[in-house]
Chains A and B, each alone.
Chain A
Amino acid sequence: MKEIAYFPGCTHLHTASHFERSALSVFEALGWRLVEKFNWICCGTVHGLSTDNLMQNVSAVRNLARAESAGARRIVTNCAMCYNTLKQANEMVKRDEDALKNLNEFMDDEPDYRGGVEVLHSLQLLREIGLDEIEKRVVKPLEGLRVAPYYGCLLLRPREVAIDNPERPKIMDEVLKAIGAEIVRDARLKYCCGSYHTVDRKEIVLSRIDEIISAVRRRGADLIAVACPLCEFNLDKRQKFLNKGGLPVLYFTQLIALAFGKEEDCLFEKHHVDPRPLLKERGLLR
């Protein structure tokens, strides 16, 4: 007799005992014994087969519910991570009525969300305001400054939440051009920075940023522009471990503020790779 560990499942004790009995009989006739070798529990099917793991959306939809009940039709955020999370949750509940109903019932301490809020990234708002309007306010064009606009993943993926063409994004390029910067393009500007691997697998992040920074440097970039605090952390703060001479990494908004003559709002001192020597050399900073 051969043996194999056997998982009967909850139905086999009573409601499907004829299934089990016949199966065990058949296998025994074939020379196999099915043996309950471990203290089995329910396979978890109700949870395992459900597609509505809604807990991960509670925080996002709570924000959308609060926004809607405050009368907001649109909300804007600078952070690509927040944009992506809020937008994906918003698209999900607009698509899936049941999910929205379940979330609303779970959040019985908030007004119901009805799906009436639109989530925007601030680059989208800038595009809506118009490149002309941006250009008009420039007092210090960033002439001769070669900027590599880094999109990363969260502004472009998945496709249904992309703020621009995920393969050939140009929204940040256009904004930066409007303030006089020269754009450096490279396919790696759409790569992932390594994201949260920065916590426990720093080496993954270091290999990503090394590749990204080396590539844009070969193309003559003076600095990288980002739209996400985690990208900024990985591309700027993690350069400490690269030992290759720093390439400044700035938020796109800092560059616009600089071009608008609002140096005092740039807080350049908060970066690991200090951009001020470069900006002074180019006559963009006193």
Chain B
Amino acid sequence: MIKMEERMVRIYVMGKEYRVPAGLTILKATEYAGYRFIRGCGCRGGFCGACGTLYRKEGDYKLYTALACQTIVEDGMYLVQLPFVPAPKAIYDIEKLKPFGEVVLSFYPEVARCVGCNTCTKTCPQEIEVMEFIQAVKRGDLERASELSFDCIQCGLCAARCPAEIKHYHVAQLVRRLYGKYLAKHSEPLKKRLREIEKSSYEKEVDELMRMSQEDLKRIYYSREIKV
């Protein structure tokens, strides 16, 4: 049997030492220590990007980044609550823009200041090749920038660390909007289906679903066919 003592780790929250059970995430360990998250906490499942955080380890000069809900505490971690990374977002009317790199640069000219240090990529808790998508924007390859940045959950840690002060996640969002609207191939079956829905072609089926019991709904949900 493992003694309770051995299953505890030391952490520092805002500089104060606490002992918390090993195996907790940074988020839960901070709560265990008595802190409450007002901001900097969202889905707790690694999808929303609200809990991006910074930490250091004893005897290690590096500043680490993580999603607090996805990272297990280690003995001697220095933790902090990071509520938000401030970054102004450009205001634009997507209908009036053209899908070119120059357009993105006109809203976020600091993109041109990238020196290629790759700090953003090392920072990203989603393991996105952040510098590569910034480089793609620089050369006007919005398709590549969209694909590379697709998993971005907008935690903003890259923007907090960039020596060129780029707002990568806002840049990427503008790029994906331009790509999605003007460049991406549109799905014909989806358009057809949307037209059908607009014409209320499925009213009968929806009514049937609405009348079903919870059990029947579960049954048909789990037995549905999924094409991958």
- Annotate A76-107 by CB proximity to B: 1 below 8 A, 0 otherwise: 00000000000000000000000000000011
B-binding residues in A (CB < 8 A): 55-56, 58-59, 62, 106-107, 109
| Min C-beta distance of A77 to chain B, whole Å | 13
A45 to B187, CA, bound (A): 61
- Annotate B111-138 by CB proximity to A: 1 below 8 A, 0 otherwise: 0001111100110000000000000000
| Min C-beta distance of A72 to chain B, whole Å | 18
Residues of A contacting B116 in the complex (Cβ-Cβ under 8 angstroms): 58-59, 62
Residues of A contacting B114 in the complex (Cβ-Cβ under 8 angstroms): 59
- B115 touching A107, Cβ below 8 Å: no
A55 to B118, CA, bound (A): 11
Interface size class of B (residues with CB under 8 A): under 10
| Min C-beta distance of B70 to chain A, whole Å | 21
- For this complex, 5 residue pairs linking A to B, each with C-beta atoms less than 8 Å apart, are A55-B117, A58-B115, A59-B114, A62-B116, A107-B118
A55 to B114, CA, bound (A): 11
- B118 touching A109, Cβ below 8 Å: yes
| Min C-beta distance of A90 to chain B, whole Å | 15
Residues of A contacting B118 in the complex (Cβ-Cβ under 8 angstroms): 62, 107, 109
| Min C-beta distance of B158 to chain A, whole Å | 14
Given contacts A59-B114, A59-B115, 14 further A-B contacts (CB under 8 A): A55-B115, A55-B117, A56-B115, A58-B115, A58-B116, A58-B117, A59-B116, A62-B116, A62-B118, A106-B117, A107-B118, A109-B118, A109-B121, A109-B122
Closest B residue to A56 by beta carbon equals: B115
Question: Chain B at the A interface: mostly helix, strand, loop or mixed?
Answer: loop
Closest B residue to A60 by beta carbon equals: B116
| Min C-beta distance of B13 to chain A, whole Å | 29
Closest B residue to A61 by beta carbon equals: B116
The 6 closest A-B pairs by CB, nearest first: A59-B116, A58-B116, A62-B116, A58-B117, A109-B118, A58-B115
| Min C-beta distance of B15 to chain A, whole Å | 26
- Annotate B174-210 by CB proximity to A: 1 below 8 A, 0 otherwise: 0000000000000000000000000000000000000
A55 to B121, CA, bound (A): 17
A5 to B115, CA, bound (A): 38
A229 to B52, CA, bound (A): 41
Residues of B contacting A106 in the complex (Cβ-Cβ under 8 angstroms): 117
Closest B residue to A63 by beta carbon equals: B116
A109 to B114, CA, bound (A): 17
A263 to B217, CA, bound (A): 64
Residues of B contacting A55 in the complex (Cβ-Cβ under 8 angstroms): 115, 117
A109 to B131, CA, bound (A): 12
Closest B residue to A109 by beta carbon equals: B118
A58 to B115, CA, bound (A): 7
- Annotate B20-37 by CB proximity to A: 1 below 8 A, 0 otherwise: 000000000000000000
Closest A residue to B117 by beta carbon equals: A58
A6 to B150, CA, bound (A): 56
A109 to B117, CA, bound (A): 10
A62 to B117, CA, bound (A): 9
A78 to B117, CA, bound (A): 25
A124 to B115, CA, bound (A): 28
Residues of B contacting A56 in the complex (Cβ-Cβ under 8 angstroms): 115
Residues of B contacting A107 in the complex (Cβ-Cβ under 8 angstroms): 118
A106 to B115, CA, bound (A): 13
- Annotate B99-117 by CB proximity to A: 1 below 8 A, 0 otherwise: 0000000000000001111
Most buried by A among B118, B121, B122: B118
Closest A residue to B135 by beta carbon equals: A59
A55 to B119, CA, bound (A): 12
Residues of B contacting A59 in the complex (Cβ-Cβ under 8 angstroms): 114-116
A58 to B116, CA, bound (A): 6
| Min C-beta distance of A134 to chain B, whole Å | 29
Residues of A contacting B117 in the complex (Cβ-Cβ under 8 angstroms): 55, 58, 106
| Min C-beta distance of B64 to chain A, whole Å | 14
| Min C-beta distance of B61 to chain A, whole Å | 13
A186 to B13, CA, bound (A): 70
Residues of B contacting A58 in the complex (Cβ-Cβ under 8 angstroms): 115-117
| Min C-beta distance of B137 to chain A, whole Å | 15
Residues of A contacting B122 in the complex (Cβ-Cβ under 8 angstroms): 109
| Min C-beta distance of B102 to chain A, whole Å | 13
Residues of A contacting B121 in the complex (Cβ-Cβ under 8 angstroms): 109
A59 to B122, CA, bound (A): 15
